[in-house]
Structure 1
Amino acid sequence: MSRLVSAVRAHLLLPVLVVVVIVVGGSLGARLPNDPLPTCGYDSCPKSDLKKLNIHLVPHTHDDVGWLKTVDQYYFGGRMNIQVAGVQYIIDSVVDALQHDPTRKFIYVETAYLWKWWVHQSEERKEIMKKLVNEGRLEIIGGAWSMNDEAVTHYHSIIDQFTWGFRRLNDTFGSCARPKIGWQIDPFGHSREQASIFAQLGFDGMFFARLDYQDKSKRLQTKTGEFIWKGSPSLGNAANLFTSVLYNFYSAPAGFCFDILCQDTEPIVDDLDSPEYNIASKVDKFLKYAKLQATSYKTNNIILTMGEDFNYLYAGMWYTNMDKLIRYINEINGTNFNAFYSTPSCYTKAVNEANLTWSSKTDDFFPYASDPHSFWTGYFTSRPTLKFFERMGNSFLQIVKQLLVLTNQPDLDELELFREAMGIMQHHDAITGTEKQHVAADYARILHYNMKNGEKLASKALRKLSLKKDIVEPATFHSCLLLNISSCEHTTHNTTFVVTLYNPTSQPLTTYVRLPVQDHFYQVLDHSGKEIVTQIVPIPTAVLNIPGRSSEAKAELLFQAVATPALGYQSFYVSQKPNELKKVENGTTTPDEQTIDGEFYKVSIDSEGKVVVKSLKKDNEKVFKQSFHYYEGMQGNNRVYINRSSGAYIFRPKYNYTKNVSETSTYKIYKGAIVEEIHQVLSSWISQVIRIYKGKDYVEFDWLVGPIPIEDNIGKEIITKYSSNLNNNAEFLTDSNGREMLKRKLNYRPTWNITLQEKVSGNYYPITTKISIQDANTNETFSVLIDRAQGGSSLNNGEIELMLHRRLLSDDAFGVSEPLNEFAFGEGLVVRGQHYVVNGNLQNADETLLQEKELAFQSAVSPWVFITPVSQSFEKWNECYKMRSEGLVKSLPRNVRILTLEPWKDGEVLLRLEHFFEKNESKQYSVSVDIDIKELFRGFVVHSVRETTLGGNQWIEDLQRLKWQLESNEVIKAEVSSEKSESTINDKIIKHFKPMEIRTFVVKLSLETTT
């Protein structure tokens, strides 16, 4: 019998009286009746023992905000035949269990569910919850509306959903609910920008579970599973974050899951008279595991995640067994272990107090592979229409928030629900496309419902902004949510209408408006009554035939909207010319018109059906080609990883080469005063429009893919490829969540020597807005800007490829249990999207970079078209409505923009300003600038400005973060920079912005009064 077992048995044979005292007193460290109540945060953490191995048991549940079941099905416990899960019962059960012993702790992450639970509770129940939070026994970790994905989410939406989660927590529980730790245990790879955001939120650390299996193996062997992540080379220490890789994913050790879902685990039985007695063997097994885990980490602290997906439906099972485990570990004489209930923040504090030095990391954790043939790079593209819809949702949410501020409206219920819908969309099984089909449909339902409510708010605000005098029936401003398929009932079924273009950006915007119309001539008048140039272009036949499209529009009316004011709008009066029916042209294919031309590019089609683009720039006379191809998706049985299938998560092509969609193509050319277009058809399921706009330094590729044919029983993954003769030496750049760029290199990882068996998918990366290559010798650059997240790479010299659409016939066996085979209107899904291609040169990079950044940001916050059907004349409309409005007193500097402007609390607004150039990126724009917030908004008086942390939940002067030291002896203070030059002089409120800084302010303002 081992020494441990002997000690346990001896302990259990003590007099009954002693046993009773132990049971009543609870586990070691329990609060005695007269002890003061513990406080929240680090003050509520158990005391570590410097001479023992401290075992931090962290009870937790991971509650997906939709995945196999919808959000409501998960919360209320519906569809138990799909998955046994009911979040309302989990929270109820945990609250009950925590009250039985003051040493017990629990962490909760998803504010979406916590809030849903909260609003249905009695006042008595709410007070119990508040007490648990205030005592640090129920700790909020992460705190966002959902645990967001990190690959395909845009930083704008990430920040938004953390801000709203924090707002709910702050308003409900106060400062004790302010999260200190990022808890990203389930996303499928991790971005550097996420680490930077966490640091700027004021977090002290981040924990995650998924990283490449080779990377994890090395880190555990070398004790580098904990490190300082340098989240931004531009922000320096302000973006550095302590990061910990969890040892056992986010599960309990094998044999120690005490949940009703864990059917293979035996409970801990300490009754000596029972034939099921097992306390000695259980403790022995547990401590062996703890010692093994400890060999992979540097301090005498280890964290054990005691939970799993939707665990704690009956929390008593967990706590009863963990109570025993803690008690018997700690009360055995001579033990070298100290076990206790803990939280990730308490663990972080204990590790910090060890005063060790730490290695650092400057790249990210993409792509993530769980085995040699399972690269989780397919979800970078999966469900591309949902990804685009989410991007539309973000654009419209920002516009609605801005309009409510500009019209001095308070926070409204409809706006809150819209914020929450967008928070749900960021979940790592929502925007990723890794959910069941019926769940994807529910996500779309939630977003559509709230966008329609947002439309009502926007219409009301625009009426208030534009009305010059009282009208019995003021106009309604409609959105056209189907412009992506050239459909809008308000422009098609009305002969006269007003177009109101709202510009949510911080600069005057000149852009093109495209509106689906019937086959007529139209007159367009601007706000001054001047007729502007228009062009009618036919809608491609493939678009007309998209399944589910019911519009009568056969053409698009095109005109240029010049200098729409920043945070403002301008309106255009559109009327059909009477008796002037226009027959849509058939296009031109005569020998003298085989190309479309502009100031910067010339485009043609070669004999193989490839698009040939020649740059006409003097400093960059390059040629590139564009073409479509597909990978065959691997179909295996998934029983071993060598038979892994391509699926919703996994991209695994059957071959390392692509097949051509077509060897030839047909096309038509259309030319006009505004745009020249090539309408190209490559097959019955792939076509595109290539456009050159007058005066614009980019080529637009408007592609249409689907329904992808599967009659041959082959799943297909469709890519577009841009090929040039640039020598990029197997290196390329991709953005990180739409923000800073990261260098990638084929078959290479910066932190370990990788062995790749999947040469294609193992080199795929998430592209949120931009991918670029650069010639190593000539400094010429080539960039592609995209309208939604996609997977991409540069697998061959001079090439960029982006995956557009996927249709697969096998599941990849990572939980969804459905192949990624989307249908819409009874047919395979059709996807339409845009790429913007730009050639440049680093020697003249400033304006090219600025254009690329503005185009990239417009994929997240784009100008919005509102349509108002009218019957009155232009003069009458202009008499009643203001047709142009400006929200800013003057434009911001070109390198700074308003990231957030929204109603906040008590009549205040939340303002977030961003410097969007990286350090040393541009000679002209990578410089610090000053902004006078006092003179920012037209029509408002600014009374006060107070800065908060990035999430708007803590005053910046109150922020204190833990300090860390790198192995290089560099001390990481990990604080938001205090080197900002601020002033309040001569009635000005000047704020200083350095490259890549995002600063958040609560602003008190009121409408100007006129005398």
Structure 2
Amino acid sequence: MSKMPIYLPQLLFLAIFLFYSVGKECGATPLKNLESRESSKTCGYQACSKPSQNKLNIHLIPHTHDDVGWLKTVDQYYWGGRPLIAKAGVQYILDSVIHELLEDPNRRFIYVETAYLWKWWSYQSDRVKTDVRRLIDEGRLEIISGAWSMNDEAVTHYQSIIDQFTWGFRRLNDTFGSCARPHVGWQIDPFGHSREQASLFAQMGFDGLFFGRLDYQDKRNRMDKKTAEMIWKGSDSLGNKADLFTSVLFNTYSPPPGFCFDILCADEPIIDDPQSPDYNVDRRVAQLLVFAETQQSFYRTNNIIMTMGDDFNYQSAELWYKNLDKLIRYANERHGSTVNVFYSTPSCYLKAVNEQALSWPTKSDDFFPYASDPHTYWSGYYSSRPTIKFYERMGNNYLQVSKQLSALTNISTSETYLNPYREAMGVLQHHDAITGTEKQQVAQDYARILSEAMKGGEQILSDALGSLISTRNQRRSRDGADVHFYTCYQLNISSCPHTEENNNFVLTLYNPQSRVVSTFVRIPVTGNSYVVRDFTGASIVTQIIPIPPEVLAIPGRESSAINELVFRARNVPAFGYQAYYVTKSNKNIERVRNESFTEATIQNEFFNVSITDDGSTCALRTIRSGVTNMRIAQSFHYYESSQGNNEEFENRSSGAYIFRPKNATPKNLTNVGSHQIYTGPLVQEIHMKINEWISQIVRLYTGENYIEYDWLVGPIPVDDKIGKEIITRYSSNLATGNVFYTDSNGREMLRREKNFRPTWALQLAEPVAGNYYPITAKITIKDRINKLRISVLNDRAQGGTSLNEGQVELMLHRRILNDDAFGVGEALNEIAYGKGLVVRGRHQIVTGTNLDRSSSILMEKQMAWNLLNPPCILVSPAGRRTFEEWRNHHRMQGSGLTKQLPPNVRILTLEPWKDGGLLFRLEHMFEIGEDTRYSHPVEINIKDLFLPFTVTNARETTLGGNQWLNESERLRWVSESNEVHRERENVRVVDTGLIDDANEVINVLLHPMEIRTFLIEISI
């Protein structure tokens, strides 16, 4: 069973169950015609059997959990390849289930992963497709969740989560219509659950959420108090709009012990021949009912949900259904006066519980970190495989650019390359992909899938930008007709062949943000001097910085670049591009200062940073009052990984999932290296070599109110046979009182407190791992006395915490020599080019006070978004064309927007949809009460927002773009405070019908933290 302990013996199960059970349309036709084919269908809640009011209703849920890659690649799991690794073939599951559903109209099945369903669908005959549509229309085959994959909730960003649900919904709606529109979340396997995920589900129109994994102490507490079902308040800002009924599954997602009837199982079948010496009906029914009664005792209604399935079950569905048919028949025949056993779905269970009209407890925090026993905290995967976490971020950045440029230019190549890119990014969100909890060969296949998709994205970028920059002169001349825009995918290791091999080239920056951006550009070059001219022809200030030897020596780096060219790109237009003409010269103007540790200092208008005697860094900021100094010291350390046999809790090893340091105090790293200082008009840098396998660059950019730490870790040495988990610490003089704040999937911030959980009395046997949380975008500490704040922004998801007063700790890299025994069967010991993996990344340190609260919080949000969606750098060789010739034939600046948006609003999504329409999302960036200036509603006219086209009609959908918002009716729930949970109505909404072209406005009102999704029609 995936990521979970083996079943306990049945006789012991009920005694210690609570301790062990936690382990691992906007539719087929254009939206305006969506209603036409739906009236005769009996899917959804209409297809549910009516439960009994006076009996125990046992909802049997046939299901399979199909990881989109884990021990095998996506293709291997689908086709059934590599059977010696795992006997799993998704194609056989779907074939077999459809056949068995057609045999009996009482049978039900649920399916989740659209990635597999779509792949299977593409190979089916018309007859099979007709049968499947009928099963869906009759509610016998129910699609739940509906995303491309079952995403992780800790290390995924909300933009990517929304995207992969939207694309899964789109495929379902286009193929099956409204009966395939999911309205229940089914997150049974992710290793902890985020509040933002619940909020997103609610905004998608979901009625409820089911999940399997939560902290073993939390589960025991909830079972004892009958609070395993609750109203999860997904957002303090969105109110009831983000509330979601949530149910914790009793047995994670497995069948009761002894009742697995799959070919992968060894449980006893139901033998109903009275003449057989193995006849067992009475005994087996009695066993099931004992389990059912035990389960029901922990819940509030006379309905229970029994998951009948597991990982890659139902490859021979006849085994399952034949035995379940017998269980249902004999249980009802023998015990029909007290129990009602029947095939059901999570939706039908939800409906039955809702009809009880009870009041429910509420929860407003999240379910991190997840522990399955006292020594097993699943907080290691927050940092596992840091390179794939960064690669996914790159993939998202280029996907947003590809979608925007496709929408702005309507190029013919868009659909060819865009759909595979959407699907690849959906695969990467899977809870064994971006998490780093897959086998090494699967991680490599994930990288292959994304790499191939990004190549298609590059073609979109080149075609679209070629269209945007073309002029009449270019169309008349062959001189500019062969322009191609190349992407530098290896800037993280200071490598780009197109800037290294050409003496004259044009850098085009495309800005995917809906605000004007000024940014420092760094590109690898071979020379010592370059002239950079902007679109006006003016030469701009540049600086050359040597690439550190440690970067030059990264295994696998094949580059001739020895320097980086730095310049400031000012005011790159929103949703637009700006080009710079670069020429190599022979002039050498760079100076290098070498300093001893005691003399090493760099400074700008906001900070000075020096190296202390022990080789760590110390930053000092003088607050504007001139009274208070803020001190920040940065250093590297490592935890030794526990190495055990995993047979007892106390012998658990660190691994891909689990973080379990051998000691609570990390090892200090003795600085035996050297450093150099480089100064210039744009940036001051300290290049530090800490030891043979850790180095970093500390940067202060002129005019920028942050410190950048560019760290390089690896190969982590393991010759001593000890696994190591590398951290960096930022220690300050702030009085924080054991409180810190972390983001939830890159969106709202949550309060954390050391050694504390808001909903139960925590007993903590792992003082480090039990205080680690996922940091997707930002971690913040605040001073209680002087009202100072420090935030650390990261370029990929990492685990982090604050274990000591005024301190932030983030895990950078892990190299572990033991497996943690949760199924992967491999140690997390990544090798690249014959050596341990080398990882390079960035942190940006932002500080603020109550005096500059509005500006500092706004800056943090903009910087975090800039780390997620920075301007893309594209290179075009200029050959012998001079600047004047280039400018004569190509536009060097352009924007997709006609006006600047308010600073607290951004465009989250713009992409081609259907029938010439576009999918468009706006979001409010601020929470209620977060800021006196920006935490207020704002209204925007979108009719004339875009330069290439005019919006002629906008109709609002739910967040996933698959249902009209005014037709979405969610179930209503009542909390124990007697508050009825309904959707909050917008004060003003755009019209839901056609907008007269004579009307000059289409206004959209955004409340704090609100995301509004529209399908828009345009005229060019």
TM over 0.5: yes
Equivalences for residues 236-385 of structure 1 within 5 A: 236-263=239-266, 265-332=267-334, 335-385=337-387
Equivalences for residues 208-607 of structure 1 within 5 A: 208-263=211-266, 265-332=267-334, 335-409=337-411, 412-468=415-471, 469-470=474-475, 471-472=477-478, 473-577=481-585, 579-580=586-587, 582=588, 585-589=591-595, 594-607=600-613
Q: Which moved more, 1:749-758 or 1:656-665?
A: 656-665
Q: In structure 1, what is the Cα distance between the partners aligned to 2:646 and 2:204?
A: 40
Q: Which letter does structure 2 place at the counterpart of 1:662?
A: T
Q: Which residue number in structure 2 is paired with residue 964 of structure 1?
A: 973
Equivalences for residues 963-982 of structure 1 within 5 A: 963-973=972-982, 975=983, 977-980=985-988, 982=990
- CA deviation map 1:801-858 (0-9, x unaligned): 0000000000000000100000111100000000000111134211111111011112
Q: Which letter does structure 2 place at the counterpart of 1:454?
A: G
Offset, 1:981: 5.3
- CA deviation map 1:367-402 (0-9, x unaligned): 000000000000000000000000000000000000
- CA deviation map 1:836-883 (0-9, x unaligned): 001111342111111110111122212100000112111111011100
Please tell me whether residue 996 in structure 1 is matched to residue 1009 in structure 2.
Answer: yes
- 8 Å contact from structure 1 (residues 602, 616) kept in 2: no
Offset, 1:624: 1.0
Identity across matched positions, percent: 58
- Give the alignment partner of residue 869 of structure 1, picking from 865, 870, 877: 877
- 8 Å contact from structure 2 (residues 987, 1005) kept in 1: no
- CA deviation map 1:419-470 (0-9, x unaligned): 0000000000000000000000000000011101110111000000001131
Please tell me whether residue 799 in structure 1 is matched to residue 807 in structure 2.
Answer: yes
Q: Which residue number in structure 2 is paired with residue 175 of structure 1?
A: 178
Change (3 A) 1:978 1:618: closer
- Give the alignment partner of residue 681 of structure 1, picking from 674, 685, 689: 689
| Count of aligned positions | 968
Offset, 1:414: 1.1
Offset, 1:979: 3.3
Q: Which residue number in structure 2 is paired with residue 615 of structure 1?
A: 621
Q: Which residue number in structure 2 is paired with residue 629 of structure 1?
A: 637
Q: In structure 2, what is the Cα distance between the partners aligned to 1:508 and 1:521?
A: 29
Q: Which residue number in structure 2 is paired with residue 69 of structure 1?
A: 72
- 8 Å contact from structure 2 (residues 622, 629) kept in 1: yes
- 8 Å contact from structure 2 (residues 955, 990) kept in 1: no
Q: Which letter does structure 2 place at the counterpart of 1:760?
A: V
Q: Which moved more, 1:609-618 or 1:650-659?
A: 609-618
Change (3 A) 1:590 1:98: closer
Equivalences for residues 45-56 of structure 1 within 5 A: 45-56=48-59
- 8 Å contact from structure 2 (residues 522, 567) kept in 1: yes
Please tell me whether residue 144 in structure 1 is matched to residue 147 in structure 2.
Answer: yes
Q: In structure 1, what is the Cα distance between the partners aligned to 2:150 and 2:158?
A: 14
Q: Which letter does structure 1 place at the counterpart of 2:389?
A: K
Q: In structure 2, what is the Cα distance between the partners aligned to 1:868 and 1:519?
A: 18
Structure 2, gaps ≥5 residues long: 1-38
Change (3 A) 1:822 1:585: farther
Q: In structure 1, what is the Cα distance between the partners aligned to 2:438 and 2:596?
A: 49
Equivalences for residues 36-47 of structure 1 within 5 A: 39-47=42-50
Change (3 A) 1:590 1:261: closer
Q: Which letter does structure 1 place at the counterpart of 2:929?
A: N
- 8 Å contact from structure 1 (residues 608, 664) kept in 2: no
- 8 Å contact from structure 1 (residues 367, 763) kept in 2: yes
Please tell me whether residue 951 in structure 1 is matched to residue 953 in structure 2.
Answer: no
Offset, 1:617: 3.0
Offset, 1:654: 0.1
Q: Which residue number in structure 2 is paired with residue 913 of structure 1?
A: 922
SS at match of 2:309: strand
Q: In structure 2, what is the Cα distance between the partners aligned to 1:397 and 1:967?
A: 43
Q: In structure 1, what is the Cα distance between the partners aligned to 2:456 and 2:448?
A: 12
Q: Which moved more, 1:126-135 or 1:837-846?
A: 837-846
Q: Which moved more, 1:404-413 or 1:527-536?
A: 404-413
Q: In structure 2, what is the Cα distance between the partners aligned to 1:450 and 1:749?
A: 41
Offset, 1:663: 4.1
- 8 Å contact from structure 1 (residues 629, 660) kept in 2: yes
Regions of 4+ moved over 6 Å? 590-593
Q: Which moved more, 1:734-743 or 1:266-275?
A: 266-275
Q: In structure 2, what is the Cα distance between the partners aligned to 1:945 and 1:982?
A: 7
Offset, 1:491: 0.3
Q: Which residue number in structure 1 is paired with residue 13 of structure 2?
A: none
Q: Which residue number in structure 2 is paired with residue 899 of structure 1?
A: 908
Q: In structure 2, what is the Cα distance between the partners aligned to 1:930 and 1:845?
A: 23
Q: In structure 2, what is the Cα distance between the partners aligned to 1:409 and 1:116?
A: 27
Q: Which letter does structure 2 place at the counterpart of 1:188?
A: F
Offset, 1:778: 1.2
Q: Which moved more, 1:229-238 or 1:857-866?
A: 857-866
Q: Which residue number in structure 1 is paired with residue 763 of structure 2?
A: 755
Change (3 A) 1:79 1:333: closer
Offset, 1:982: 4.8
Q: In structure 2, what is the Cα distance between the partners aligned to 1:718 and 1:60?
A: 40
- Give the alignment partner of residue 198 of structure 1, picking from 196, 201, 206: 201
- 8 Å contact from structure 2 (residues 393, 796) kept in 1: yes
- 8 Å contact from structure 2 (residues 644, 652) kept in 1: yes
SS at match of 2:148: coil
Q: Which residue number in structure 2 is paired with residue 153 of structure 1?
A: 156
- 8 Å contact from structure 1 (residues 901, 910) kept in 2: yes
Offset, 1:691: 0.3
SS at match of 2:392: helix
Q: Which letter does structure 1 place at the counterpart of 2:174?
A: D
- CA deviation map 1:64-83 (0-9, x unaligned): 00000000000000000000
- 8 Å contact from structure 1 (residues 608, 665) kept in 2: no
TM-score (norm 2): 0.94
Offset, 1:333: 6.1
Please tell me whether residue 830 in structure 1 is matched to residue 833 in structure 2.
Answer: no
Q: In structure 2, what is the Cα distance between the partners aligned to 1:529 and 1:574?
A: 11
Q: Which letter does structure 2 place at the counterpart of 1:847?
A: S
Q: Which letter does structure 1 place at the counterpart of 2:303?
A: N
Q: In structure 2, what is the Cα distance between the partners aligned to 1:977 and 1:812?
A: 48
- 8 Å contact from structure 1 (residues 504, 567) kept in 2: yes
- Give the alignment partner of residue 700 of structure 2, picking from 679, 692, 705: 692
Q: Which residue number in structure 1 is paired with residue 25 of structure 2?
A: none
Offset, 1:272: 0.8
Equivalences for residues 705-744 of structure 1 within 5 A: 705-744=713-752
- 8 Å contact from structure 1 (residues 599, 616) kept in 2: no
Offset, 1:929: 0.4
Q: In structure 1, what is the Cα distance between the partners aligned to 2:897 and 2:211?
A: 42
Q: Which moved more, 1:839-848 or 1:706-715?
A: 839-848
Q: Which letter does structure 1 place at the counterpart of 2:385?
A: R
SS at match of 2:716: coil
Offset, 1:297: 0.4
